[in-house]
């Protein structure tokens, strides 16, 4: 074996030894990591509930107009005239244009069933005959001045509108009401956590998780006065007084604290 070959053999031998040592170190580290487990945090979880009661500041209702004409143009003309008459009165009552919107508008052929006269020998089946067209339009109105809700209902009645679809109350800025309820829920959960920590003889370190399970339900509280059914039975010449009541929003949260 010449000198060059001997040098190559020595270098290869030391490289092999170094690789064996490196593999052994890596294997030992892997075995140690398999035996180790992540530190378990001591935690407690508490639930909190909060409520916020607010008086509704907006009301919505809708009304429909249905007209029949021999032609589409005739039916549309009748429906438009009645709609415009109502909208004029509603706007005069303080309702803004952006608080009035069309929910639906439809045009359908109108058929009438005609029975053919029977003869001595036969009785032909009846048939549907096109007699005109139906035009239907439904308008939704949002009322911000609730003191005028009764007057607006009176306006609908005097305009000859027969179909009025309910009256519902709501809070325009619902997010702020929900925020108040959530803050109360967090406060409730924190007080519970502090009490439990004191009983256990531990300290609250930090929040490790937070879950908001607040529902979207609104609970109305009726006040004395007439309901929607009473309103619809009131004579058009008397502007009804409509109670708006109160609405309650409930928030629920779950908070997990690290304890020490």
Per-residue pLDDT, averaged over 214-221, amounts to 51
Instruction: Supply the mean pLDDT for the chain.
Output: 78
User: Please, which pLDDT band fits residue 147 given cuts at 50, 70 and 90?
Assistant: confident
Per-residue pLDDT, averaged over 187-205, amounts to 94
pLDDT tens-digit series, residues 49-77? 999 988 888 888 899 999 999 999 999 99
User: Please, which pLDDT band fits residue 198 given cuts at 50, 70 and 90?
Assistant: very high
Long-range contacts made by residues 77-86, C-beta under 8 angstroms, separation at least 24? 78/135, 79/135, 79/136, 79/137, 82/159, 82/160, 82/161, 83/137, 83/139, 85/159, 86/139, 86/155, 86/156, 86/159, 86/161
User: Please, which pLDDT band fits residue 208 given cuts at 50, 70 and 90?
Assistant: very high
Cβ(107)–Cβ(177) below 8 Å: no
Classify the C-alpha dihedral 23-25-31-36 as positive or negative.
Answer: negative
The DSSP line for 184-248 is HHHHHHHHHHHHHHHHHT--EEEEEEEEE-----EEEE--SS--HHHHHHS-TTSPPP----EEE
pLDDT attached to residue 74: 95
* CATH 3.30.70.2970 at 58-170, yes or no: yes
* 231 contacts: CB under 8 Å, gap ≥ 6: 150, 153, 167, 240, 242
Query: Is residue 35 classed as helix, strand or coil in its secondary structure?
Result: helix
User: Please, which pLDDT band fits residue 117 given cuts at 50, 70 and 90?
Assistant: confident
User: Please, which pLDDT band fits residue 137 given cuts at 50, 70 and 90?
Assistant: very high
Query: Is residue 40 classed as helix, strand or coil in its secondary structure?
Result: coil
Fold of domain 40-56+171-260? Translation Initiation Factor IF3 (3.30.110)
User: Tokens at residue 148, please?
Assistant: 């005028």
Each domain of the chain, given as residue ranges in start order, spans 1-37, 40-56+171-260, 58-170
pLDDT attached to residue 25: 56
pLDDT attached to residue 227: 35
């Amino acid at each position: 074996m010449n000198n060059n070959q001997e040098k190559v053999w020595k270098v290869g031998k030391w490289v092999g030894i170094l690789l064996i040592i490196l593999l052994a170190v890596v294997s030992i580290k892997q075995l140690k990591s398999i035996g180790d487990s992540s530190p378990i945090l001591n935690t407690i979880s508490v639930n909190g509930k909060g409520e916020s009661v607010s008086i509704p500041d907006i009301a919505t209702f809708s009304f429909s107009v249905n007209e029949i004409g021999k032609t589409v143009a005739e039916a549309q003309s009748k429906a438009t005239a009645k709609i415009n008459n109502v909208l004029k009165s509603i706007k005069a009552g303080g309702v803004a244009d952006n608080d009035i919107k069309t929910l639906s508008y439809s045009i359908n052929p109108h058929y009438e069933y005609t029975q053919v006269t029977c003869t001595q020998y036969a009785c032909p089946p009846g048939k549907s005959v096109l007699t005109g067209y139906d035009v239907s339009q439904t308008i939704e109105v949002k009322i911000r001045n609730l003191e005028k809700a009764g007057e607006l209902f009176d306006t609908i009645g005097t305009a000859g509108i027969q179909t009025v679809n309910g009256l519902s109350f709501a809070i325009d800025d619902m997010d702020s009401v929900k925020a108040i309820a959530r803050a109360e829920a967090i406060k409730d959960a924190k007080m519970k956590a502090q009490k439990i920590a004191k009983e256990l003889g531990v300290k609250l370190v930090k929040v490790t998780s937070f879950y908001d399970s607040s529902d979207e339900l609104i609970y109305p509280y009726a006040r004395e006065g007439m309901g929607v059914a009473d309103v619809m039975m009131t004579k058009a010449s008397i502007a009804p007084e409509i109670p708006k009541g109160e609405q309650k929003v409930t928030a629920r949260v779950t908070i997990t604290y690290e304890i020490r």
